[in-house]
Structure formats: C-alpha cells, structure tokens
Amino acid sequence: MPPSSPDRLTGMKPAYLKLLTGQGTRQGLWSLPLLIALAIALGLSLTAQQFTSADNLFNLITQAMPLIITAIGQMFVIVIGGLDLSVGSVISFTTAILALDGPAYLLIPAVFLLAAAIGAINGIVITRLNVHPIIATLSMQYVVLGITRILRPVSGGTVPDVVIASVSGSLLGIPLPVFWGIAVLLVAWKVLHGSRFGLHLFAIGGGIAAGMEKVPHNFGVAERRNILLAYVTCSCFAALAGIFLAGRIVSGDPNVGLLFELDAITAVAIGGTQLSGGVGALHGTVIGALVMALLANGMNLTNVSPFIQTTIKGLILLLVVGLQSRKRMGL
Amino acid sequence: MASLVEMSDISKTFGGSVALKGVSLELMPGTVHALMGENGAGKSTLMKILAGVHQPDEGEIRLKGETVAFARPKDAIAAGISTVFQELSLLPNLTIAENMFLGREPTGWLRTVDYRGMNQLARRALGELGLDLDPETLVSDLTIAERQFVEIAHGIKAEANVFILDEPTAALNAADVEMLNRQIRRLRDAGKAIVYISHRMEEIFAICDTVTVLKDGELIGTRTVAEVKPGQLIAMMVGRELKDLFPPRATAFGEIVVDISDFRIDSASKPFSLSLRKGEIIALAGLEGQGQQKLLRALIGQFHPVAGTVILGGTKIALPVSAASGIRQLQAARIGFVPEDRKDEGLFLGLPISHNITMALHAGQPQLAPAKPYRREIAETLTSLQVKSAGAEALVSSLSGGNQQKVLLGRYLAADMNVLLIEEPTRGVDVGAKSEIYKLLRRFAAKGGAVIVLSRETIELIGLCDRIYVMHANTLVGEMPAAEATEHRILDAALVA
C-alpha cells in the first residue's frame, strides 16, 4: 500500500479553490489583488467616463510601466528572501547617465553595465561579507544617490532621441511601451518560472523560509552565484525602468527614482509574493503594480486628494498581506 | 571481486570532539551493507563524508580503485553516490518533481527547465516505488510518510552506483518497509552497492549481506550477516567497561513529585505511566528519537501529546500545556527545564555568566520589579559548581563546553528548583566535567530534589540514575532499576519490544 491518508487537506481541493486561495501552488495569493484591481476598474468605469477611453487605458499602462518593471526586478530578490532598496537610486542614476550628451549606442549599454555592476556589488556584499540585504542595499542607495547628484545636481540635459521615441512613439495606434512591456514580461516569465535560475531562486528562498538553508546547496544549487545574479537582475530591471522614465521626462533627474524602491516592494507584496521568500508569481507582481497604477489613475480622474490615495494604498497592502500569511497558505 | 567504494583510515574531528578515528569501509557491488552502532558512534558522519557533506581530516576514498575527494555534495552525486539522509531535506515550496531533480534538472531550449520531461521522469521514479503521487504536488501538501517516500525516491537515482540510506524506515510502517526492501533488493540485483543504516535488527537480518559495527567513532568489525547472531551484534555495539565516573546512588526516596499517567504521545502509540520520587534520578533511555524528548517537551508545551494526566507536586496540570506559558508554569512549580542544545536553547552566549545564572531568579519576580543583583547567589553557585572562568562577568561564550553546561545547570540550582528535567546533561563535555556534573546532580537529588534525564549515552544513564525507563516507538517498553541495567538489557528491551 502506498502511503496515503484521508486527512489530506490541501491536495484534495478542487482546482478553482487552489487558484482562489493560492494553496497547492507557490504562486501566492494573487487572486485577491486581481479582484481588487477589477473592483477598482469597475468602480472607475462607472464613475468616470474618461476611464474606459483607449487613450486613458494606454496612458495607464505607459504610466505603470516603470513601476511594473522595477517591481519585477525587485521580485527576483524578494523570492530569495532578500530586498533591494537601491533600485530608486539606480533609476535616478540611469536618467542622469542617459542625459550625459553622448551617443545612444554607448549610453544605453553603459546604463545596463553600470546597473549590473551595482547589483553585483550588492550581491557580493550580501553573500561574501554576510551583510544583511537591507543594510547592504540601503548603503548602496546612498552611494548611488550621491554619485547621481554629483553628475546632475538638478534635473536637466537631454536624453538620446531613440529613448524618447521608443517611449512616446506608437505602432498601429498602440503606444510602444505596451510592446516593450509584453516583451519584458515574456522574458521575465521565462527566467523566473521557466529557467533553472528561477527555480533555484525559489529553492533558495524556500530553504531560508523553512529553516533549511543548507538543502539547496547540498543538492548542488550554486547559492552564492544565484543570489548575486538575482541582485544583478534586479538592478538591470531598475535601469530599464530608468530608461522608460528618462524617455518620458526627456531629461536626467536626480530625484525621479526617489522612493521608487518602496513602491516596487509594495507592488510585489500586494501581488502575493511572500517577503520571507520562496513564494510568488510574476503575474501577481504585475497585478500588484496595476492596483497601484489604477489607484493613482482613478484618483486623478475623480479629483480625489492624493493624500487619501496614499492611505488607501497602505490599507490595501495591509489587507492583502494580512490575508496571506505563510500559515494560511499551508506552507 | 573488486570493491566499488573503499574508504580507508577515515578520521574526522568536529571542534574538539573526535567523530571518527581511522575507520575503513569497503562496499562491494551487488551487496547491502549494514552500518550499525549506538547513537553518536559515527555512522552518519562516515556516510556524510562519503556523500561529500563533510570532508575527512585524514584518510582517503577510492571509487572503483581511483582516489577521489569530494569537496561538495554535488561532487559525490556526480560520482554516482546517492544519499537518503535521516533528516528530511525536501523544500516545502517546490513540487515533488522539482525536489527530486533539484540541482540536476533536465533542461531544454535556452536552459529552460524541461518541466514535462522532469514530471514524467519523476512520475516513473515514484511509480517504481509503487507510489501514486502527482509529481506536481507541492511537498508542503504531503503527509510525513509521503515525504519520507519521496525522500527515498529522491535518493534512489537510476544512474547512481552507491546508495546510502540513513535510517530510511524511521517514519514507515511494516508494509511500507517491505515495499522499500523490494526496491533495495532490486538495486542490489542490478549490481549496486547499498549502505543501510538502521537500528531495527530484523531489517538488518532481512536484507543485509554484510554488517559493519562502529563504536565511539572507531571500527569494531565487519561481519557477514549470515554468520552472526543479533546478540553478537549488540555485544559489538555496546562492549565497553563502566568507568568510575559516577557517584553512589540514593538509598531512600520521598513522596512522588511527578506523576504521569495514561500518557499518549501520538494517536498511534500506546499509553503509558511513569513517576518520579523525591531524591530520585530517573532516566528515559532507548534509541534516539523514540519519544523521550517529546515527553519532556510536552511538559513545557512545545509538543502536544494526545492524552494523559500529569500531576506535578500535587497539582494536576492541563494538557496540552500552553507553549507560551509552559515554562513559566513549570518554574512557578519549581521545576526547571534544561534543554539539549545549550548554545541555541539554553544559554545567552553573549551575556556574562552572572546574567545567565540570575535569569531564572529574575523570572520568578514580577515584570516591573527592580532587578536585584543576586551577587551572593552568583558567588555561591560559581563556587559550588567549580566553574573555571575569569569571573562572574566573563562572557559565557568564552567558557569551555563543560563550564558552559555547569552555568546552565547552575541557573536552575541557584533558583532553588525542586525538580529538574534535563536533556543531554553532558553533551559535548569532556570526561572530567562529566564526572563533576554527575556529582552535582546527585547532590541536588540528595538534598531533596528529583531529576528526569534523557541522554543519547546509555552508559551515562545507567551510571547516573536510580531507575531507568526504556522508551521505544513513542511509548514505554520497559522499566528497570539502574543497578541491574546494562546497555545490553536496555537495547534488548528497546529492540525486542
């Protein structure tokens, strides 16, 4: 007789319940923020006529794109139980570099190389010097912010035309950022949910969350290298978000990325990713970022005070995270 | 016949304690090789060296005649050595298939994981073990027995040549064990070498060809299973003389201070009763992990038993004990709990000796009461314990293991407890300090205290205690006066039950 017992709780649940509760998967509770996003969208479409116009929807997506991209990057490090507070500075830094008045074919690769270097330093400090991720990346936030302010104390300069064109242009009536977004999502999905690298990140995070830190290593997962690569990935996504923002504001701005790291972490957490590591899904993060974008968009359309918007953001975060503790998820 | 694996003169020390001393082991293809020995004899360490988890200090490993060195577990896996460790090593947030193939996932286009292929391979591997589990189920959704089987399926990889099974049957019932044995025979017939670590004598005789016995990190001997009897094996595992480490036993006892009756650890185990009298030291003996620790931890609320009545010093306490207040409740009843792991659970390594000792004294005070310095109590405790230190303000982390253990005991002696529940009173402590700790405990009992001790070292229990309870499979299987106990009798009681 194979061992099987009747008191199995979660394995027997029907598929739709699994989907709704996030149990039986390691995707986290992304159905709840999806419902919230749909509820906000429904409410807005009833109260504000402009909301459902194609212009506004495309505008919403374009507006949300930097946050979505930063949050996806952030997710790579949150999945391993880490955190990257330096992404806001990396975004500002990226816009400052792009406004340096050089050829685009040099500036764009340079932006990614510099971001990768920042991520690599984060990763090395965390894995080799055993500094806590919050402290390591908080230090890096200050370091990079300082350099950015030296490069460009106030906003100014002009970014290469190709950057502006790829953000503000459109194809067949659809803004280009939509296509970029789809491409980024496909790549990120493949890396996080399809590759060995992504699986190993979940393994490392799951090991940390379950108090089995040594298990991934014992089965041949290159832990330090993967952690380092996660921080590099996170930084590079921030650089990409920086390019988007630079294309929108057309110049370099030392403050454009301010507090972006907190919005990114909020989006990831709303999307059902566990900050303790090992649980989460890319679509959850996208939904989380959309919830925040919808709030911002809706408040603008209905002329609600932006201060209330912040409070509502906080309440939604509290509600969603409160409903998805590890224990409730059966993990 | 040429051997598949030859480990020769392997030595390994951890910190100051010697785990293995010049142990050699030869594994032949097509055989099942049992590795036996008491707890702490070095079996698991030897196998972890073969699996690349630890590296030997001395000695060498030859694989098919070639010398190899495994710096990482990955190297051993690559060399065809496959291990099922005693501890569960499945990550709860991965599926069965992902766990089984972790670190060696089949990949497809652009190094993406070939999930379909992986799930198929996993389903087949599970099927070979007779398991009808969906490989895409998360491990967190499995029962403990299911996890154990997945663990085994995980370790049994088709392409490996050497299989290490470290107590694979600990969580399995008889039918499951038979299923496992079929798999082991199948592997043996395919010319693989299998190392089988188990405490269950009948399993050794059912499927093993050769048996090697270790004791205190040394090789006692290797025999053909067909030529030995269980009694001889037990004698090989035990065979050592009692040293003159122990103080004389008590002669008179007072009233009962701890009375446990109709106690059931889990729903599958039989109920049992035991009692502790004033002036007495009793032992919970038997093989490791047979419920001894669960019983003690149930009293402090860290484990929830199924049923039972516990009377402490005349007052009945409600089961299950609350995990949050269990220790405080016990301390109010003047019962101290000394945990097994002094570094993680017992001591504040970064605080001075004085703080560590007064911790239990302060615990008896109201929350906002000003903290007394307790200088006299500290000084008395340090003198009576003969702690070797730079003074009461020295950090506990600066002390040797033996002195740390004395400080831990000192905390409860200073707080004037009536009963001590002690897990592993002398873990990682040298012989001299052991002897002093035994004397301390005996003095405590002679002054009207009472002690329950559990230990992996049976010899310690026999020498130190007045009465020995033998536990097996989460229940009590025997009771004997320590004066009549031998390691042989205790093992016998545990294994024959």
Q: What percent of chain B has pLDDT above 70? A: 93
- B89: nearest CB among A194, A215, A279: A215
**Could you tell me the pLDDT band of residue B243, with boundaries at 50, 70 and 90?**
low
- A220: nearest CB among B74, B91, B176: B74
Residue of B66 and B200 predicted with greater confidence: B66
- B207/B268 same-domain check: no
Write down the pLDDT at residue A60.
Answer: 87
Last residue of a domain, one of B212, B238, B264: B238
Tell whether the model's pLDDT for residue A154 goes beyond 80: yes
Write down the pLDDT at residue B111.
Answer: 77
- B112/B234 same-domain check: yes
Write down the pLDDT at residue A304.
Answer: 77
Average pLDDT across chain A, whole number: 85
Q: Do A26 and B138 touch (CB under 8 A)?
A: yes
Closest of A162, A184, A169 to residue A105, by C-alpha: A162
Q: Do B93 and A278 touch (CB under 8 A)?
A: yes
Residue of B278 and B428 predicted with greater confidence: B278
Helix axes A31-47, A282-302, angle to 10 degrees: 20
Residue of A233 and A61 predicted with greater confidence: A233
Residues of A in contact with B143 (CB under 8 A): 3-5, 7-8
- B265/B230 same-domain check: no
Closest of B483, B458, B173 to residue B471, by C-alpha: B458
- B413/B470 same-domain check: yes
How large is the average pLDDT for residues B169-179?
A: 72
CA atoms of A4 and A11, how far apart (whole Å): 11
Lowest mean pLDDT among A237-241, B319-323, B412-416: B319-323
**Could you tell me the pLDDT band of residue B99, with boundaries at 50, 70 and 90?**
confident
Write down the pLDDT at residue B383.
Answer: 86
Residues of A in contact with B155 (CB under 8 A): none
What DSSP designation does B227 have?
Answer: G
Write down the pLDDT at residue B239.
Answer: 61
- B280/B228 same-domain check: no
Task: Convert the pLDDT of each residue in B323-377 to its tens digit.
Answer: 778 888 888 888 889 988 887 788 888 889 999 998 888 877 787 888 888 888 8
- Name the phi and psi angles at B476, rounded to 5: -85, 130
CA-nearest residue of chain B to A6?
Answer: B143
Write down the pLDDT at residue A288.
Answer: 92
Write down the pLDDT at residue B466.
Answer: 92
CATH of the domain at B374: 3.40.50.300
Residue B245 lies in a domain: no
pTM score, two decimals?
0.71
Half-sphere exposure of A311 (CA within 13 A, CB side): 5
Q: Do A219 and B102 touch (CB under 8 A)?
A: yes
Work out the minimum CA distance from A23 to partner chain B, whole angstroms.
9
CA angle (A30, B147, B171) in 5-degree steps: 145
CA atoms of B46 and B361, how far apart (whole Å): 43
- B229/B262 same-domain check: no
Residue B44 lies in a domain: yes
Lowest mean pLDDT among A180-184, B39-43, B224-228, B488-492: B39-43
How large is the average pLDDT for residues B121-126?
A: 86
- B324/B208 same-domain check: no
Structural tokens at position A171: 């194809």
Task: Convert the pLDDT of each residue in A160-217 to its tens digit.
Answer: 888 888 888 888 888 888 898 999 999 999 999 888 899 999 999 988 888 788 888 8
Non-local CB neighbours of B227 within 8 Å, separated by 6+ positions: none
Write down the pLDDT at residue B455.
Answer: 86
How many other CB atoms are there within 10 angstroms of residue B268's CB atom?
11
**So what's the ipTM on this one?**
0.81
Write down the pLDDT at residue B124.
Answer: 86
Tell whether the model's pLDDT for residue A280 goes beyond 50: yes
Work out the minimum CA distance from A149 to partner chain B, whole angstroms.
40
Residue B36 lies in a domain: yes
CA-nearest residue of chain A to B54?
Answer: A218
- B168/B270 same-domain check: no
Q: Do A212 and B149 touch (CB under 8 A)?
A: no
**Looking at domain A56-319, which CATH architecture does it have?**
Orthogonal Bundle (1.10)
Residue of B336 and A51 predicted with greater confidence: B336
Q: Which of B133, B140, B166 to mutate to test the interface with A (most CBs of A within 10 A)?
A: B140
How large is the average pLDDT for residues B406-416?
A: 88
Q: Which of B50, B91, B105 to mutate to test the interface with A (most CBs of A within 10 A)?
A: B91
Residue of B326 and A268 predicted with greater confidence: A268
- B104: nearest CB among A7, A220, A279: A220
- B152/B91 same-domain check: yes
Write down the pLDDT at residue A9.
Answer: 38
Residue B263 lies in a domain: yes
Write down the pLDDT at residue A89.
Answer: 94
Write down the pLDDT at residue A11.
Answer: 42
**Could you tell me the pLDDT band of residue A58, with boundaries at 50, 70 and 90?**
confident
How large is the average pLDDT for residues A296-309?
A: 79
Task: Convert the pLDDT of each residue in A104-116 to its tens digit.
Answer: 888 999 999 999 9
Write down the pLDDT at residue B497.
Answer: 60
A111-115, A289-293, B269-273: which is most confident = A111-115
Task: Convert the pLDDT of each residue in B373-405 to its tens digit.
Answer: 888 888 888 888 888 777 888 888 877 777 888
Work out the minimum CA distance from A267 to partner chain B, whole angstroms.
22
- B65/B187 same-domain check: yes
Residue B251 lies in a domain: no
**Could you tell me the pLDDT band of residue A5, with boundaries at 50, 70 and 90?**
very low
Residues of B in contact with A220 (CB under 8 A): 72-74, 77, 102-104
Task: Convert the pLDDT of each residue in B202-239 to its tens digit.
Answer: 788 888 999 998 887 888 889 898 888 877 787 777 66
**Could you tell me the pLDDT band of residue B273, with boundaries at 50, 70 and 90?**
very high
Number of domains chain B contains: 2
CA-nearest residue of chain A to B107?
Answer: A196
B36-50, B72-86, B88-102, B424-438: which is most confident = B88-102
Residue of A94 and B267 predicted with greater confidence: A94
How large is the average pLDDT for residues B74-96?
A: 81
- B91: nearest CB among A10, A194, A203: A203
Domain boundaries, chain A: 56-319
Residues of B in contact with A207 (CB under 8 A): 91
Non-local CB neighbours of A98 within 8 Å, separated by 6+ positions: A107, A108, A111, A159, A160, A163, A242, A243, A246, A252
- B126/B185 same-domain check: yes
**Count of CB pairs separated by less than 8 Å, A with B:** 112
Tell whether the model's pLDDT for residue A148 goes beyond 60: yes
CA atoms of B70 and B56, how far apart (whole Å): 9
CA atoms of A114 and A325, how far apart (whole Å): 37
Residues of A in contact with B107 (CB under 8 A): 196
Write down the pLDDT at residue A16.
Answer: 66
Work out the minimum CA distance from B254 to partner chain A, whole angstroms.
45
Residue B197 lies in a domain: yes
Work out the minimum CA distance from A175 to partner chain B, whole angstroms.
30
Q: Which of A10, A215, A329 to mutate to test the interface with B (most CBs of B within 10 A)?
A: A215
Q: What residues make up the domain containing B375? A: 256-496
Q: Which of A5, A7, A199 to mutate to test the interface with B (most CBs of B within 10 A)?
A: A199
Work out the minimum CA distance from A311 to partner chain B, whole angstroms.
33
B428 to B13, B41, B143: CA distances (angstroms): 12, 14, 34
Average pLDDT across chain B, whole number: 84
- A5: nearest CB among B77, B137, B143: B143
Q: Judging by DSSP bridges, how do beta strands A170-171 and B17-27 pair with one another?
A: unpaired
Helix axes B401-414, B431-446, angle to 10 degrees: 10
Write down the pLDDT at residue B146.
Answer: 78
Write down the pLDDT at residue A12.
Answer: 47
CA atoms of B467 and B482, how far apart (whole Å): 5
Q: Are B148 and B168 in contact (CB under 8 A)?
A: yes
